[in-house]
Amino acid sequence: MSKNRNAGGLSNPAAGPAQQTAGDPASKVTLRTVARHLGLSVTTVSRALKNGPEVQLATREKVASAAEALGYRPHLAGINLRTGRTHAVGVFLPLERSGEINNLGGALIEGVSAYLTGVSYRTTVVPVLEKTSALRAVQDIVREKSVDGIIIKNTLPQDERVRYLLEVGFPFVTFGRTELFTPHPFFDIDHESIGYRAAKLLFDAGHRQPILVAPPRQQTYSQQFLRGWRAAHFDANRDYSESHVFFSAVTPNSGRDVAGLLLRPELAATGAFIAGEESAMGVVAGLYAAGCVVGRDFGIVTYGGTQLHGFVTPPLSAFIHSNFETGERLAALLMRSIQGESAVGLGEVAEAVFVDHQSHLAPGVLPDRRPGKVA
């Protein structure tokens, strides 16, 4: 006696011998397949999978369970035709120096993708090479209509990409703020606060004239770091000098190049805030090559969005906000923008957490080798 049962253990007595089974490569699981399997109408199954309130909760749960067991996936091409949407989001990833180790955007993209998967969207990564026009890259994607929304990073105060997207009315969110008058969706870290806290930390650790190594000057978050850095000098009655500020691409290669500048005798510097953990990797390597050991001969504190600071020798004190969590928030804000929500209120600023590995202490200060975490 045969049993009409699919591989997921769900049975349908009414189904004939040609019933679809989970994992069957010969045919595609459709709404009709799920409906026939459960003895429901296609309309009921469709509404249940959309969590329609007109369908009882028990039925919605039964349909969701059966769809999962049968391997049902929405037919995005058909949905796209009906709705005019692609169910894709474009993440623009700038590569700062060609041919080098570039920014660690993987965790951010993972966060974006983790959120979008839950709402049946996919992530399209658009690398922006050093010599590529950032504006042209955005314009091309918008004209192609290959995504429903865009995520951009490394914003500028008067960002032409943001201005263009506002003019054409295309959904987007930025990682970072601008100084444009028109509000737009954004997620940002309080870099001004980090700049202030980093300077104060280095003052308190015994450094008289610490150095700031900031991202490229034209980027908004670089200017925010600098504002906080200056304010801390003013509040502490310390002399602020432009000679103790360097701007550099955020890559290990760039950090290694900067390392030699930090040791110039005329600067008389004993510590620095390296405002990018990728750069900090290069600085540590460059200083070591010059016979200078971080944490003993020179103090460093850095900033980033991963655990990279903990995988150098010595581990670096750092201000951290998870790139993964940033990606999730960017995706959530973008989906609200895609759904037509007003840009007013679609902005968030998060605080970084300080992780103390005592790599920032001035030479001669005996470190307490018990790393801790301070909010």
The DSSP code for 149 is: E
**pLDDT tier, 331 (very low <50, low <70, confident <90, very high otherwise):** very high
Rounded to 5 degrees, φ, ψ at 360 are: -90, -5
Q: What pLDDT score does 370 carry?
A: 38
> What does DSSP assign to residue 271?
E
3-state secondary structure 202-269: HHHCCCCCCEEEECCCCCHHHHHHHHHHHHHHHHCCCCCCHHHEEECCCCHHHHHHHHHHHCCHHHCC
Percent of the chain at pLDDT > 90 equals 59
**Domains 1-70 and 86-189+324-350 in one fold:** no
Is residue 208 within 8 Å of residue 184, measured between CB atoms? no
Taking Cα atoms as reference points, which of 310, 297, 300, 256 lies closest to residue 279?
A: 256
Structure tokens of 352?
Answer: 């970084």
Query: Helix (H, G, I), strand (E, B), or coil: what is residue 23?
Result: coil
Q: Work out the average pLDDT over 182-202.
A: 97
Virtual CA dihedral for 191, 173, 326, 176, nearest 10 degrees? -10
Measure the CA dihedral 94/99/101/105, to 10°: 20
Q: What is the pLDDT of residues 48-89, one digit of tens each?
A: 876 677 888 888 888 888 888 887 776 555 555 455 568 899
Separation in Å, CA 72 to CA 31, 83, 165, 194? 8, 20, 36, 47
* Domain regions of the chain by residue span: 1-70, 86-189+324-350, 191-321+353-374
Task: Look up the CATH number of domain 86-189+324-350.
Answer: 3.40.50.2300
Which token pair is 277? 């953990």
In this prediction, residue 7 has a pLDDT band, given cuts at 50, 70 and 90, of: very low
Residue 375 has pLDDT above 70, yes or no: no
The whole-angstrom separation of Cα 187 and Cα 177 is 8
| Digit-coded pLDDT (tens) for 144-173 | 989 999 999 999 999 999 999 999 999 999
pLDDT value at residue 374: 43
The DSSP bridge pattern shows strands 353-356 and 317-320 to be: antiparallel
The pLDDT value given to residue 249: 87
Percent of the chain with pLDDT over 70: 83
**Omega before 314 within 30 of 0, i.e. cis:** yes
d(CA 260, CA 325): 34
Task: Region of 39 please: left (phi>0), alpha (psi -120 to 50) or beta.
Answer: left
In the predicted model, what is the mean pLDDT of the chain? 85
What local confidence, expressed as pLDDT, does residue 6 receive?
Answer: 41
Q: Does domain 1-70 have CATH number 1.10.260?
A: yes
Q: Please state the rounded mean pLDDT for residues 16-21.
A: 41
* CATH top class, domain 191-321+353-374: alpha beta
Per-residue confidence (pLDDT) for residue 15, from 0 to 100: 40
Contacts of 114 (CB under 8 A, 6+ apart): 324, 327, 328
User: Is pLDDT at 95 greater than 80 in this prediction?
Assistant: no
Reduced to 3 states (helix: H, G, I; strand: E, B; else coil), residue 274 is strand
